[in-house]
Structure 1
Amino acid sequence: MQPFHLAFPTADLAATRAFLTDMLGAGLGRESERWVDFDFFGHQITSHLVDDMDDAAKNPVDGKQIPAFHFGIVMQWDDWQALADKLDEKGVPFEVGPYIRFQGEVGEQGTFFVREPGGNTALEFKTFRNFDQLFAK
Structure 2
Amino acid sequence: MSNCFHLAIPAGDLNLAKKFYCDVLGCKSGNSEEGHWVDIDFWGNELTLHQSEERLPKVRHEVEMGSVLVPHFGIHLSDGAFQALKERIETAGIAYLDKPYRRFTDSKYEQETFFIEDPNGNILEMKTLVNPKILFKVD
TM-score normalised by structure 1 residue count: 0.89
CA distance in 1: counterparts of 2:121 and 2:108, whole angstroms: 32
Unaligned regions of 5+ residues in structure 2, if any? none
CA distance in 2: counterparts of 1:53 and 1:102, whole angstroms: 32
Q: List per-residue Cα deviations over 1:37-84 (Å, max 9, x = no partner).
A: 111111111011222325312212312x31211111111112111211
Q: List per-residue Cα deviations over 1:13-57 (Å, max 9, x = no partner).
A: 211100000011111112220211111111111011222325312
Q: List per-residue Cα deviations over 1:68-126 (Å, max 9, x = no partner).
A: 11111111112111211221122111111111101111200011111111x22111111
Say whether residues 1:52 and 2:58 are aligned partners.
no
CA distance in 1: counterparts of 2:99 and 2:136, whole angstroms: 23
State which of 82, 85, 101 in structure 2 corresponds to 1:83.
85
SS at match of 2:128: strand
The sequence identity of aligned pairs, in percent, is 35
Aligned amino acid, residue 95 of structure 1: L
Mapping of 1:1-137 within 5 angstroms? 2-31=3-32, 32-61=34-63, 62-63=65-66, 65-117=67-119, 119-135=120-136
CA distance in 2: counterparts of 1:54 and 1:36, whole angstroms: 18
Unaligned regions of 5+ residues in structure 1, if any? none
CA distance in 1: counterparts of 2:56 and 2:25, whole angstroms: 24
The alignment covers a number of residue pairs equal to 135
Aligned amino acid, residue 41 of structure 1: W
Which stretches of structure 1, 4 residues or longer, exceed 4 Å deviation after superposition?
A: none
TM-score normalised by structure 2 residue count: 0.88
CA distance in 2: counterparts of 1:58 and 1:132, whole angstroms: 29
CA displacement at 1:130 relative to structure 2: 0.8
